[in-house]
Amino acid sequence: MDGRSVDREVAGQLGRNVWLARRRAGFSQEALGAVASLHRTEIGLIEHGQRLPRVDTLMRLAGALDVRIESLLEGIAWIAPGPSARGSFAVRRFG
């Protein structure tokens, strides 16, 4: 890790979304990494919820997988802060 705080639930949901999109596209982690100009280990860290990617990395992944970024963020929502709170991310369960 690079020292940044990672919300594990959000990272896990994002990782599942990337994994599903990769499987649907028929890519191995290595093949996706090659198309997205990312190392295979980066793909693995994201899919296992150990890393939250930057926006440029999300754009690379979405482009390589031929999906909209929104599909990679499905189930993740920002909860706006109240008058004195900072706000937070939340994972929404569907179904």
pLDDT, position 29: 97
- CATH number reported for the structural domain that contains residue 81 in this entry: 1.10.260.40
Residue 53 placed within a domain:
yes
Residue 69 placed within a domain:
yes
Residue 33 placed within a domain:
yes
> Would you say 47 and 18 are in contact if contact means Cβ atoms under 8 Å apart?
yes
Residue 1 placed within a domain:
no
Residue 2 placed within a domain:
no
Residue 3 placed within a domain:
no
Residue 59 placed within a domain:
yes
Q: How confident is the model at residue 4 (pLDDT cuts 50, 70, 90)?
A: low
Q: Name the residue range of residue 52's domain.
A: 8-91
Average pLDDT over residues 28-44: 97
Residue 20 placed within a domain:
yes
59-79, pLDDT tens digit by residue? 999 999 999 999 999 999 887
DSSP result, 65-92: HT--HHHHTTTEEEE---SS---EEEEP
Q: How confident is the model at residue 1 (pLDDT cuts 50, 70, 90)?
A: very low
pTM to 2 decimal places = 0.81
Residue 3 has pLDDT above 50, yes or no: no
